[in-house]
Copies of this chain bind each other. A is one copy, B any other.
Amino acid sequence: MATSRRELNKAATRQGITDAALTLLRSKGPGNFTVEDIADTAGISRRTFFNYFSSTDAALASVTHGFLDNAIQQFKLRPANEPILQSAQEALMALADPMTVAPLAELFTLTQQSTLMSHSELEAWDHCREQITAVARGRAAAGPGAVDELYLRALAGSVISCGKAAMEVWFTRRGADLSPASLAELRQLLIDAMALLGSGFTAGSTPAPSPSASRSS
């Protein structure tokens, strides 16, 4: 296993860097601190920072990356005969607990003012999309006939988009509220989003696919 001194030190340094980056994000706001600030706060040299991350964004995006890696792990555990949409839903359900969601929620609220996600964060989501594509390809290959690339890519992309949409709506509505009621709403939003996708968005302007859907504005 990875319990040598070297591994531990590296992990600690890595964690120290993201902690420092988050601290500075909290105190100074996005874009108002430099790599040197992070390095100083973490007690390392500027050069060492770049040995771990390629940018400030990358350091912060490790939060998102961790969450999505977790999600992919859950996703891969789902039975191969389960529909992709349901696998995605179940994987996300497993992560809708306070401890897992908290870092992501804080990162989101702190970076809300900057319109678009950072490059590194988008990279993390895209990596997740590729993983989903790979799993879907594997499941399709097990069945009959040839694998349809369009189907795989469109499906994986849409799943990611809907997952993002659900989280965005939740963050927008609830901010960093991690109460049981709020998390229940997140779960419902994720379920609704996958249901919308599974039903082809057939509902009109007032869909409410699951009766107990959303709403609490």
Contact = CB atoms under 8 A, between A and B. Distances in A.
Interface stretch (A8-16, A138-146, A175-183): A138-146
Contacts of A122: 116, 119, 122
A161 B151 contact: no
A153 B192 CA distance: 12
A150 B192 CA distance: 8
Given A161-B160, A200-B200, A150 B209 contact: yes
A123 interface: yes
Contacts of A48: none
Interface centre among A149, A160, A169, A201 (most CB of B within 10 A): A201
A206 B147 CA distance: 7
A17 interface: no
A172 interface: yes
Interface residues of A, number: 52
B151 A201 contact: yes
B204 A143 contact: yes
A148 B143 CA distance: 37
Interface in A151-207: 151, 153-155, 157-158, 160-162, 164-166, 168-169, 172, 189, 192-193, 196-207
Contact of A139 (B116, B199, B205, B206): B205
Nearest to A148: B207
Given A196-B154, A206-B146, A85 B201 contact: yes
A150 B193 contact: yes
B205 A154 contact: no
Contacts of A209: 148, 150
11 contacts: A119-B122, A140-B205, A143-B204, A145-B205, A149-B172, A151-B203, A151-B205, A154-B166, A158-B162, A158-B197, A198-B202
